[in-house]
Structure 1
Amino acid sequence: MLNVIAKIAIAYLIDLIAGDPYWMPHPVQFIGKFIEKFEKFLYRFKNKRFSGAVLTITVLSLTFAISYTLGMFQILEIYFLYTIFATRCLAKEGMKVYNILKAKDMEKAKKELSYLVSRDTNSMDERNIIRSVMETISENTVDGIIAPMFYMMIGALLLPGNPGAALAFGMTYKGVNTLDSMVGYKNERYSDFGWFSARLDDWVNLIPARITGMILYPLSAMILGFDYKSSFRIYFRDRLRHASPNAGHPESAVAGAIGIQFGGVTSYFGESHEKPTIGDKIKEFDIEDIRKNIKMMYGASIIGIIFFMGIIWGVHRSFIA
């Protein structure tokens, strides 16, 4: 039987090789369908914050229980662990926009970007398309890669020797993400109903976002030959200059390493918002910055898997000794 470190490592390698094929059903799709159906039932109740919390607790409890059970079977455990990672998928989506911009097809680039972000893309110029892609890659390095690793580690440490523990914690984290993406909006329908889901998503990303911005991205920048000193400097200066309590951490580290400035005017649902700037504008955005960002993302993910698996190995050895 493979130990938990080997299973997580194999799952990560499969993700690097295969990514998420469009034809393959993904567990998050099933979580999303359940959320959609259960939301229709719960939304009729008057106390929206309470019913929204019931939705969140029910979804996460079922996700944990089902994942823990599936994790008892080694092949299924590896397969579902693999589906939690989004490294190759994130790089692929970024490179799609990169290649379209290289081909000078602005309209197609705007359309492709609209699948990745919730902001308005119709009026964007090339600079704002590049900025939006890079902000998305930087933020989603936490949601799609580092945080899942972190919670797999937590499961392995809290329930050592229990097949399915790492999977259950990792998949439950994805459940939090899915809830936030579906009901965690600050609009008329979800401001109360999705309040608990949105706050929970902020809480569960607090530690992973800081590990990513303070440790993994600067180390990745150093290995790749980018400006790791500025990555550290801008991180500590600008990490809190974001409406989100977590997004500014990876963004500031990337901005410092590449010498660009995130933030500025951004349009959501027809309304313009002035986002605080993050980083120093050493240079203008360039198409190649997308590739640099993707390289840093890969570097952070590799350092992350070594870092978290090393902690599991060290803790397990100390107990055995």
Structure 2
Amino acid sequence: MAHFFWTVLLPAAVLDLLLGDPHWMPHPVRWMGRTISVLERLLRRLFPKTPAGERGAGIVLALALPILFGGGSALILWGLGQVSPWLSWVVQLWFTYQLLAARSLQKESMAVCYPLKKHDLDGARQAVSRIVGRDTQALDETGVAKAAVETVAENTCDGVTAPLIFLFLGGLPAGMAYKAVSTLDSMVGYKNEKYRWFGWASARLDDVLNFIPARLSGLLMCIGAALLPGCSGRHAWKIFWRDRRKHASPNSAHTEAACAGALEVQLAGDASYFGKVVHKPTLGDPIRPVEPEDIPRACWLMYATAALFLLLFAGLSIWL
């Protein structure tokens, strides 16, 4: 654990900070997405088209993907280690770096911020539509900025800090298994007619794996807010404890509530999906409206939270 942190995880975090996620590179998440699509078609043909049959097929998928990618990566690393420990290290470093998404989140959210600052609302709507699932055509400038801030805040956990935790605890195989579950949830974990039963197991497994990371991430984000200029640690703490359970998901609101408090804005609330308005509770107090500058502030909060996790892991590594 300690050796992996110093030789792989910490350098991988630096690589993510420097390189981000170039779109031309092969990426394990894209491999996972293609595998999910193939397995979904296969399992839907093999299992009965009933709620029980679809749930059974979804359970098989939810177990198969993390075993395939987690176990497969462990097997590959073992084989590479037999050839050369250096080759095994290079592969571990490369794929560990690709499981972290901090720089990618910053890049995609700042692509929303830049047109907003130029009052290019159409460009900002188009940019934010690439990172959110809601309808964006009718959003005003405040709505676009709020959607980008919410994306950074919510994905701080499943895109950055939760992968850090699983990688620290179990190396690349655990990180791959976690990312497989997270990708499953993003692709099939919906409560609509198509995935209500088929995606049930994937959504529940994602809830279980993120239960502790979401809460730790919210707590450390509050500490990060106290260290950053332009953020309120006191208000982050207040809103985190008050609003962190105000979401249909048991985990999604923790970092979002901490971020809303830190920025002293109100996030979440009603949103439109595929032309249908979904009523959701708000997080935070509307002390001031969300503005474009809140997007880079949310990114700094994300980085501060990740840095605090790395400091915690460094301390644990030294102690161990």
Same fold (TM over 0.5): yes
In structure 2, the residue matched to 1:54 is: 60
Map 1:200-211 onto structure 2 (within 5 A): 200-211=205-216
In structure 2, the residue matched to 1:120 is: 135
Map 1:172-321 onto structure 2 (within 5 A): 172-214=177-219, 216-225=220-229, 226-314=231-319, 316=320
Shift, 1:71, TM fit: 3.3
Per-residue CA deviation, residues 186-216 of structure 1 (Å, 9 max, x unaligned), is: 11111001100011111111111100112x1
The unaligned stretches of length 5 or more in structure 2 are 79-87
Matched-pair contact (CA < 8 Å) for 2:19–2:103? yes
Alignment partners' CA distance in 1, 2:75 and 2:14:
23
Q: Give 1:65's match in structure 2, choosing from 65, 68, 71.
A: 71
Matched-pair contact (CA < 8 Å) for 2:9–2:93? yes
In structure 1, the residue matched to 2:85 is: none
Q: TM-score, normalised by structure 1?
A: 0.92
In structure 2, the residue matched to 1:3 is: 3
Shift, 1:61, TM fit: 0.8
Q: TM-score, normalised by structure 2?
A: 0.92
In structure 1, the residue matched to 2:102 is: 87
Matched-pair contact (CA < 8 Å) for 1:235–1:253? yes
The 3-state SS of whatever aligns with 1:71 is: helix
2:25 aligned partner, one-letter code: M
Map 1:158-173 onto structure 2 (within 5 A): 166-173=171-178
1:307 aligned partner, one-letter code: L
The 3-state SS of whatever aligns with 1:272 is: strand
Shift, 1:265, TM fit: 2.0
Residues 152 and 182 (structure 1), Cα distance of their counterparts in 2 relative to 1, 3 Å cut = same
The unaligned stretches of length 5 or more in structure 1 are 156-165, 317-321
Shift, 1:70, TM fit: 3.2
Alignment partners' CA distance in 1, 2:126 and 2:196:
28
Shift, 1:31, TM fit: 1.2
Shift, 1:254, TM fit: 0.8
Alignment partners' CA distance in 2, 1:312 and 1:33:
36
Per-residue CA deviation, residues 235-270 of structure 1 (Å, 9 max, x unaligned), is: 111111112111110011111111100122200111
Q: Percent identity?
A: 41
The number of aligned residues is 303
Matched-pair contact (CA < 8 Å) for 1:119–1:266? yes
In structure 2, the residue matched to 1:16 is: 17
